[in-house]
Amino acid sequence: MDNLSDTLKKLKITAVDRTEDSLEGCLDCLLQALAQNNMETSEKIQGSGILQLFASLLIPQSSCTAKVANIIAEVAKNEFMRIPCVDAGLISPLVQLLNSKDQEVLLQTGRALGNICYDSHEGRSAVDQAGGAQIVIDHLRSLCSITDPANEKLLTVFCGMLMNYSNENDSLQAQLINMGVIPTLVKLLGIHCQNAALTEMCLVAFGNLAELESSKEQFASTNIAEELVKLFKKQIEHDKREMIFEVLAPLAENDAIKLQLVEAGLVECLLEIVQQKVDSDKEDDIAELKTASDLMVLLLLGDESMQKLFEGGKGNVFQRVLSWIPSNNHQLQLAGALAIANFARNDGNCIHMVDNGIVEKLMDLLDRHVEDGNVTVQHAALSALRNLAIPVVNKAKMLSAGVTEAVLKFLKSEMPPVQFKLLGTLRMLIDAQAEAAEQLGKNVKLVERLVEWCEAKDHAGVMGESNRLLSALIRHSKSKDVIKTIVQSGGVKHLVTMATSEHVIMQNEALVALALIAALELGTAEKDLESAKLVQILHRLLEDERSAPEIKYNSMVLICALMGSESLHKEVQDLAFLDVVSKLRSHENKSVAQQASLTEQRLTVDS
């Protein structure tokens, strides 16, 4: 270390005199000291004030330039040295050196800039202001096709420099994307896929950039899907495959790229991994099985990619996914059910799957998870059943297969996601199915649970779906018994509250259900309608200019139906409904105007 102090003193003198030989000796001595103890040597360099001198030594024509850049690269491995390097004015001369033709100078300069940028806002800012990124991208473009080892080493350093420059910095990543870095990196990956270090660098860069929404379109216009799948097929090591997965997951969020990945054969690779890992209890294998099956489900979220894999229900992929559902592996059961839910996104697919026995498979799966079951599997299987129940022709088939009974087993679940899907499935099943709606509507346990969930203030989704199912039971059954069950269970007040929902569709469903209650069982519900302040709410809905035409129409229908109750009739008279209704006779919507005339007549006769 004493020797080092002498070297630093000597360097100060020779740096001014520019005697190349003695300068080179001093630089070699510094590099040696850094190799032995980087941190301590860096501290001495910082204390000696020599950094400022380095700026004057970074000149293109000097034979010592590469060594100076190498020293800067070494000291900048220490976090405490990065800001001093910026303050010493080293960035601008280093960026100038990026225009050098000397490969060693380029290599050491790339290293120096990359290390100064690592986790350093000041370093990145200085390189940005000096315009370093564009020069590096231009180099990557022009050197891209040369495959000799020295060039590949330089390309790896340049990729690393851009990564350190932009890592976790959205605006700098966006800048690189605008400079066209993505097509260049994809080309690099294709040409240099045999070079492990460069490939790894490209993958990490893709992983960073793919998180940015603006990158997806650029990626979609390259052959990234093909290159990644090609690379994936060659990998045997878990870590390498994991790196590729980390790029695939964010990219596969884009529908165009989903389709490209499917066409490039990614699905076959994923199915193979599932097959290889399904019986393993090694942690890495379990993780890889999860990643592969999750990615598979993600690919099915794109309409085109999903339809391509469905192949009319005859496709190998669809058949393989079906085989996951009866598996004993929870992850595969989950992925299988989610995949079916994704395949069930159009009527044709739903009809085909129901006709080919998928419902029984899903019910068997649910059966295995009733007692202390896996919540994610329950949720996924119910999602699939809900989607399958959407086409009209499937409802009766699913009802006769016993889906309602299978779903009702989860009525005691305390998990909001399961409750939400259970409600949605039942609501889909009874749509226009009077008999099923009546049967469910007379099920006191169900109705009481719905009324309880209508108060689940912490879970808006569950609350909304419970209200909608209560209303659906009345609307589709048109049954007095169902109405009595709902009234006795305390459901009326929730339907009245639902009429004030911010969603027009829910308001409307509530008003139609309330009109049926008033028409069929007004005496039974009278007190509940009164205490829920229904008449005041209807007055507000009719007065409010923002109310949709169908809301005004159904509110007036309901007013007419309430006139059969003495107490409610009196409330209507007290609130001067005639004024509001007569104004609606000139409403632009014909149905509203006609209903206003009818309601006005009714109110006049009964006043």
pLDDT higher for 521 or 235?
521
Closest by alpha carbon to 289, among 276, 274, 302?
Answer: 274
pLDDT digits (tens, 9 = 90+) for 189-237: 999 989 999 999 999 999 889 988 889 999 999 999 999 999 999 887 8
Q: Secondary structure of 358-418 in the HEC alphabet?
A: HHHHHHHHHHCCCCCCCHHHHHHHHHHHHHHCCCHHHHHHHHHCCHHHHHHCCCCCCCHHH
pLDDT digits (tens, 9 = 90+) for 259-282: 999 999 999 999 999 999 998 889
pLDDT confidence tier of residue 24, bands split at 50, 70 and 90? confident
Q: Give Cα 18 distance to the centre of its chain.
A: 59
For the chain, give percent helix, strand, coil, nearest 5. 80, 0, 20
Residue 572 has a pLDDT of: 87
Q: What is the DSSP letter of 218?
A: H
Residue 181 has a pLDDT of: 94
State how far the Cα of 351 lies from the Cα of 354, in Å rounded to an integer.
Answer: 5
State how far the Cα of 360 lies from the Cα of 410, in Å rounded to an integer.
Answer: 17
Do the Cβ atoms of 480 and 464 come closer than 8 Å? no
Q: Which CATH superfamily is domain 303-432 in?
A: Leucine-rich Repeat Variant (1.25.10.10)
Q: What is the average pLDDT across 572-597?
A: 90
pLDDT digits (tens, 9 = 90+) for 129-187: 999 999 999 999 999 999 999 999 999 999 999 999 999 899 999 999 999 999 999 99
Closest by alpha carbon to 581, among 589, 591, 571, 592?
Answer: 592
- Residue 607: pLDDT above 80? no
Residue 605 has a pLDDT of: 79
How many helices (H) and strands (E) would you count in the chain? 40, 0
pLDDT higher for 528 or 239?
528
- Residue 17: pLDDT above 70? no
Residue 15 has a pLDDT of: 66
Whether this prediction's pTM lies above 0.75 is answered by: yes
Please tell me the class of the 1-117 domain: mainly alpha
Helices (H), 120-265: 121-130, 132-143, 149-166, 170-178, 181-191, 196-210, 213-220, 224-234, 238-251, 255-263
pLDDT, the chain, mean: 92
Domain ranges of the chain: 1-117, 303-432, 443-521, 533-606
Do the Cβ atoms of 278 and 325 come closer than 8 Å? no
